[in-house]
Amino acid sequence: MDLFNQHSLYDILPFDGTVHYHGKIFGTNQSSEYFEKLRNTIEWRHDEAVLYGKHYVTKRKVAWYGDEGFEYRYSGTTKQALPWTKELTVLKAIVEEKSGISFNSCLLNLYHDGDEGMAWHSDGEKMLGDDPIVTSLSFGAERKFSFKHKTTKQTVSLVLENGSLLVMREGSQKHWLHRLPPTKKVTRPRISLTFRRIFM
């Protein structure tokens, strides 16, 4: 399916799930300010994963923030939540107002350029509940973002703009995979903030 670029609040998935793209919720200057602040103040670390007994370290950097005592387990690793920063607290409140959902954690990703991406996956960890809702707030370079139905293999793609908000709602993790495909066309960095609700 062609890239979806409309800014109206609209379910971009054709069936078996709901994904709302809010478009740019911040202006260009404010988005740039948030990007620089996050890039310079977040405690970034290279992501790690254990797959089939092998330990991998990615070029992409990540950080995990959340309510006190929270931890996040995925790909054979466990991350302890860092305490919310001032900027993250403000952004969380804005995302909660836009989505109508309350969140208690945030996984941040720093992609240095288009060579760094994310393979097909769904956010289906047990700690996220039976039908999780995950948001993606983007700052920096525009990047293509794709969905693929787990059964029919139908795909849908859109461009995540600087300062934009994507809300993956009910059914989107159960029935669809998503990815950030690598590209040689993008030379600038991007930061994504994926707010989630963890059930301890």
pLDDT tens figures, 5-61: 444 577 899 999 999 999 999 999 999 999 999 999 999 998 766 656 676 777 899
Going by C-beta distance under 8 Å and a sequence separation of 6 or more, which residues neighbour residue 152?
none
Note the pLDDT tens digit of each residue in 73-96: 666 667 789 999 999 999 999 999
Element (H, E) at 39: helix 28-41
State the pLDDT at residue 53: 67
Instruction: With CA atoms as reference, report the closest residue to 106 among 122, 119, 88, 124.
Output: 88
Tell me the chain's radius of gyration from C-alpha atoms: 16
- This prediction has a pTM of 0.88
State the pLDDT at residue 73: 67
Element (H, E) at 120: strand 118-121
DSSP string, 48-93: EEEETTEEEEEEEEEEEEESTT-EEEETTEEEEPBPPPHHHHHHHH
Fold for 19-196, please state it: Jelly Rolls (2.60.120)
Which one has a higher pLDDT value, 51 or 140? 140
State the pLDDT at residue 63: 94
For residue 3, pLDDT beyond 70: no
Report the percentage of the chain scoring pLDDT > 70: 88
State the pLDDT at residue 174: 95
Instruction: With CA atoms as reference, report the closest residue to 191 among 31, 47, 74.
Output: 31
**pLDDT-based confidence at residue 70 (cuts at 50, 70, 90):** confident
Sorted by where each begins, the domain ranges of the chain are 19-196
Task: Tell me how crowded residue 143 is: count the other CB atoms within 10 A of its CB.
Answer: 25
Which tokens belong to 147?
A: 């969905």
